[in-house]
Amino acid sequence: MPQLRQDPATREWIIIAAERAKRPHEFRKAAEQKTAAPPPFSPDCPFCPGNETKTPPEIYSLRESTPGKGSAWKVRVVPNKFAALVPEGSLDRRVEAGFFRVMDGFGHHEVVIETPHHDKSLALLSQEEVLDVILTFRLRYHALRKMPGVEAIIIFENHGLSAGTSLEHPHSQIAAIPVIPNRMRTRFESALRYYDDLHHCVYCDMLAKEVQIGERIVEAGDDFVVINPYASIQPFETWIVPTRYRSSFGNISDEDCVQLAAVLRRTLRRLYFGLNNPDYNLIINNAPVADENKKYYLWHIQIIPRLTMRAGFEIGSGIYITTVFPEETAKYLRDYKDEETPEAGNIVAEPRCL
Amino acid sequence: MPQLRQDPATREWIIIAAERAKRPHEFRKAAEQKTAAPPPFSPDCPFCPGNETKTPPEIYSLRESTPGKGSAWKVRVVPNKFAALVPEGSLDRRVEAGFFRVMDGFGHHEVVIETPHHDKSLALLSQEEVLDVILTFRLRYHALRKMPGVEAIIIFENHGLSAGTSLEHPHSQIAAIPVIPNRMRTRFESALRYYDDLHHCVYCDMLAKEVQIGERIVEAGDDFVVINPYASIQPFETWIVPTRYRSSFGNISDEDCVQLAAVLRRTLRRLYFGLNNPDYNLIINNAPVADENKKYYLWHIQIIPRLTMRAGFEIGSGIYITTVFPEETAKYLRDYKDEETPEAGNIVAEPRCL
DSSP state letters, B40-80 = S--TT-TTSTT-GGGSSPPSEEEE--STTSTT-EEEEEEE-
Query: Which chain B residue's Cα is nearest to A323?
Result: B84
Minimum distance, in Å, between the CA of residue A131 and any CA atom of chain B:
22
Residue B127 exposed, middle or buried by CB count within 10 Å (0-12, 13-18, 19+): middle
Non-local (6+) Cβ contacts of B55 within 8 A are: B46, B47, B76, B78, B81, B111
Contact residues, A window 257-316, toward B, CB-based 8 Å cutoff:
281-285, 304, 309-313, 315-316
Containing H/E element for A73? strand A73-79
Enumerate the β-bridge partners of residue B322: B16
- In this prediction, residue A16 carries a pLDDT of 93
- In this prediction, residue B71 carries a pLDDT of 75
Query: Which chain A residue's Cα is nearest to B3?
Result: A105
Average pLDDT (B47-70) is 87
CB atoms within 10 A of CB A260: 23
- In this prediction, residue B342 carries a pLDDT of 64
Residue A308 predicted with pLDDT over 90 = no
Calculated CA dihedral for residues B47, B51, B52, B57, nearest 10 degrees:
-90
Chain-wide mean pLDDT for chain B?
90
Rounded CA-CA distance B334/A300 in Å is 46
Residue A81 predicted with pLDDT over 60 = yes
Cβ–Cβ gap B315/A281 under 8 Å: yes
Are B134 and B260 in contact, with CB atoms under 8 Å apart?
A: yes
Q: B352 or A184: which carries more pLDDT confidence?
A: A184
Containing H/E element for A135? helix A127-144
- In this prediction, residue A161 carries a pLDDT of 85
- Chains A and B form CB pairs within 8 A to the count of 234
Contact residues, B window 329-348, toward A, CB-based 8 Å cutoff:
none
CB atoms within 10 A of CB B56: 14
Query: Which chain B residue's Cα is nearest to A322?
Result: B84
- In this prediction, residue B76 carries a pLDDT of 98
Q: A310 or B171: which carries more pLDDT confidence?
A: B171
Q: Which residues of B touch A6 (CB under 8 A)?
A: 100-102, 179
Rounded CA-CA distance B226/A232 in Å is 36
SS3 of residue A50 by DSSP: coil
Closest CA to B161 of B306, B308, B301, B311: B306
Query: Where exactly does CATH 3.30.428.10 map onto chain B?
Result: 1-34+190-354, 43-179
Which pLDDT band, with edges at 50, 70 and 90, does A354 fall under? very low
Cβ–Cβ gap A179/B13 under 8 Å: yes
B163 touches chain A (CB under 8 A): yes
Residue A70 predicted with pLDDT over 70 = no
ipTM of the complex: 0.91
SS3 of residue A315 by DSSP: helix
Residue A347 predicted with pLDDT over 70 = no
Contact residues, A window 102-131, toward B, CB-based 8 Å cutoff:
102-106
For the domain covering B1-34+190-354, report its CATH number: 3.30.428.10
Closest CA to A319 of A24, A22, A27, A10: A10
Cβ–Cβ gap B12/A181 under 8 Å: yes
For the domain covering A3-335, report its CATH number: 3.30.428.10
Enumerate the β-bridge partners of residue B158: B281
What is the phi/psi pair of residue B274, to 5°? -70, -35
Residue B299 predicted with pLDDT over 80 = yes
Residue B345 predicted with pLDDT over 50 = no
Q: Which residues of B touch A230 (CB under 8 A)?
A: 100
Q: At what angle do helices A326-335 and A254-274 cross, to 10 degrees?
A: 100
What is the phi/psi pair of residue B167, to 5°? -120, 135
Which pLDDT band, with edges at 50, 70 and 90, does B199 fall under? very high
Query: Which chain A residue's Cα is nearest to B305?
Result: A312
3-state secondary structure chain B: CCEEEECCCCCCEEEECHHHCCCHHHHCCCHHHCCCCCCCCCCCCCCCCCCHHHCCCCCEEEECCCCCCCCCEEEEEEECCCCCCECCCCCCCEEECCCEEEEECECEEEEEECCCCCCCCHHHCCHHHHHHHHHHHHHHHHHHHCCCCCCEEEEEEEECHHHCCCCCCCEEEEEEECCCCHHHHHHHHHHHHHHHHHCCCHHHHHHHHHHHHCCCEEEECCCEEEECCCCCCCCCCEEEEECCCCCCHHHCCHHHHHHHHHHHHHHHHHHHHHCCCCCEEEEEECCCHHHCCCCCCCCEEEEEECCCCCCHHHHHHCCEEECCCHHHHHHHHHHCCECCECCCCCCCCCCCCC
Average pLDDT (A206-210) is 94
Q: Which residues of B touch A318 (CB under 8 A)?
A: 181-184
Q: Which residues of B touch A205 (CB under 8 A)?
A: 99
E strand spans, B171-213:
171-177
Contact residues, B window 188-247, toward A, CB-based 8 Å cutoff:
205-206, 209, 212-213, 230-231
Rounded CA-CA distance A210/B311 in Å is 29
Rounded CA-CA distance B275/B235 in Å is 11
Q: Which residues of A touch B178 (CB under 8 A)?
A: 4
Cβ–Cβ gap A175/B313 under 8 Å: yes
- In this prediction, residue A68 carries a pLDDT of 60
Non-local (6+) Cβ contacts of B340 within 8 A are: B265, B266, B269
Q: Quote the Cα angle for A303-A308-A283, to 5°.
A: 20
Minimum distance, in Å, between the CA of residue B169 and any CA atom of chain A:
16
Which pLDDT band, with edges at 50, 70 and 90, does A66 fall under? low
Rounded CA-CA distance B57/B46 in Å is 12
- Identity (one letter) of the amino acid at B77? V
Given CATH 3.40.710.10, say whether it is the number of domain B43-179: no
Which pLDDT band, with edges at 50, 70 and 90, does B354 fall under? very low
- In this prediction, residue B13 carries a pLDDT of 95
Residue A311 predicted with pLDDT over 80 = no
Cβ–Cβ gap A205/B99 under 8 Å: yes
Average pLDDT (A281-308) is 94
- From residue A178, alpha-carbon distances to A109, B118, B199 in Å are 12, 48, 30
Rounded CA-CA distance B215/B243 in Å is 18
User: What percent of chain B lies above the pLDDT cut of 70?
Assistant: 93
Which pLDDT band, with edges at 50, 70 and 90, does B346 fall under? very low
Closest CA to B309 of A322, A158, A130, A304: A158
Q: Which residues of B touch A279 (CB under 8 A)?
A: none
**Range of lowest pLDDT (A346-350, B171-175, B199-203):** A346-350
Residue A291 predicted with pLDDT over 90 = yes
Contact residues, A window 82-101, toward B, CB-based 8 Å cutoff:
82-86, 88-89, 97-101
Cβ–Cβ gap A4/B281 under 8 Å: no
CA atoms within a 13 Å half-sphere pointing along the CA-CB vector of A148: 8
Cβ–Cβ gap A319/B230 under 8 Å: no
CA atoms within a 13 Å half-sphere pointing along the CA-CB vector of B133: 29
Average pLDDT (A146-158) is 96
What is the phi/psi pair of residue B89, to 5°? 85, -160
Q: B350 or B75: which carries more pLDDT confidence?
A: B75
